[in-house]
Chain A
């Protein structure tokens, strides 16, 4: 699976959009980009995934660059409950592939 690089930490004011970047410059054509988050002392929570098109669900939006070398997770209106470590993972799917977690981005949402 392609290595991903994320900033170690970010701050965001409550109510503002949180934009979390991820670099995956060696991603292969059949690897999806997945985003998970882990709130303190809980198991990771699935957020969203995509291959090359932008995706949106009730939690977030995922913007993938045309060359697929990077992506951005957007939380449109961050709340204090969005404070967590966010992980970006590139992985093949369809065959129950194991996930390799990097260090992620610690997002701190403040008042």
Chain B
């Protein structure tokens, strides 16, 4: 199957700082990528849809000014958590559909801890 990578795999930062998470499709191009967030003992919640060359689409309740998404190329989407606070601590996961658009493949996730 297709491979999606994320970087970094984990990050610890101080409250008030910004953190950038990268999501890459390694062996295929993806005009669309998805960002999810998962809190402990909960399921994945979709945050936003990242569209190459255009603005991201955010789910209801997700602050677009706090979670900046940039999809600058067909293989890279970035999520920047701006002015991070402890409540933003979570597991962030991206996904991308394969060439046929039938199956989504997920990255390994990025664990963010805001102190």
Q: Residues of A at under 8 Å CB distance from B?
A: 34, 36, 38, 41-46, 49, 87, 93-96, 98-104
Contacts and interface: CB of A to CB of B under 8 A. Distances in A.
Q: Which of B36, B104, B106 has the most CB of A within 10 A?
A: B104
Interface stretch (B12-20, B41-49, B64-72, B82-90): B41-49
Name A's interface SS: loop
A99 B111 contact: no
Contacts of A87: 43
Contacts of B101: 93-96
Given A95-B101, A99-B34, A43 B108 contact: yes
Task: List 10 A-B pairs, minimum CB-CB distance, nearest first.
Answer: A43-B106, A96-B97, A101-B44, A96-B32, A101-B43, A44-B106, A43-B109, A93-B102, A43-B108, A43-B93
Name B's interface SS: strand
B95 interface: yes
12 contacts: A38-B44, A41-B111, A43-B4, A46-B1, A46-B105, A96-B31, A96-B32, A96-B101, A96-B104, A98-B34, A99-B95, A100-B46
B32 to A, nearest CB: 4
A44 B93 contact: yes
A104 to B, nearest CB: 7
B103 interface: yes
A38 B93 CA distance: 12
A103 B93 contact: no
Contacts of B102: 49, 93-94
Given A96-B32, A101-B43, A104-B43, A46 B93 contact: no
B23 to A, nearest CB: 10
